[in-house]
Structure 1
Amino acid sequence: MFGISGAEAIVLIVVALLVIGPERLPEYAQKLKDLVKSVRRYASGAKDDLRETLGPEVTDVDWRKLDPRQYDPRTIVRDALAEVDQEDAAERRRREREEREAAREARKAEREAERENAPAAGGSTAATETSTLVRITPGQRAPFDTEAT
């Protein structure tokens, strides 16, 4: 308070006692007591006037909740970022769900198209034939498929 440390306050009190002197000390102590009483009376009167002016809803307000000293900016920022992360995660989950559904619909459409284009039972097409693997040993040339070119 006022940028005065405890040691400086003690020195100021001792200097004040020496300047005032023991004869006038009771008189100044009485004046200090009266000053403190009048300040308290003034503060309580101002508080009563404020309540009377603003109405009964002011008494219902919990002023400690509104005290800015209780808020830590790091906590506020951390909470705000957590909300954004939760919103982003929810948006990602929604997008991924839509992508999975779209992929599922595309696979379903492909299967239906394959069923429609499938040959009758007993027919043969290139899609139903199986290919065989040819193993090539070192020094042997790969077979050339004339139909593939």
Structure 2
Amino acid sequence: MFFDIGPLELVALVVLAVLVFGPDKLPKVIQDTMAFIRKVREFSDNAKEDIRRELGPEFKDFEFEDLNPKTFIRKNLMNGDDEYGIGELKELRDSLDLRKEMAEVTDLRKDVREVTDAVNGVEPAKAASTAAGASGTAAANGSAATPDRLKKLGAEEPPPFDSDAT
């Protein structure tokens, strides 16, 4: 029926209304309720018309039901062709190839690593072996691996300190 109320529930509501308001007051309560609902609908329609008028002529076909997210998606993204937009979803899924995206990210990481090694003055072949053996070397020496720039400064000299940068 309406609002997911079945016939048995509707009968129970009617019996409850008769018991609460009584058979003599029930018609007056129904009339008052219907008048209130009519006023609310009239107020709502007037508000919609005021909004349409204020938006201007570009929005004369504007429907407030389109503000519902499901309706908006169905109308704008799925073109309303089928109920669930299966065709458009398949096209979207096919256009997003995650394997290709992951390969591009991996290539980008390799490029960044090469640039970092070039800036630090490490040869690419040496960088791979250094990265693989850094944990073993650090464990053997008991200290963390020292970058090349710090080795160039010497063991006695502290690294440069920039008080403005910290």
TM-score by length of 1: 0.44
Query: Comparing both chains, which one has the higher relative contact order based on Cα–Cα distances under 8 Å and sequence gaps of 6 or more?
Result: 2
The higher radius of gyration belongs to 1
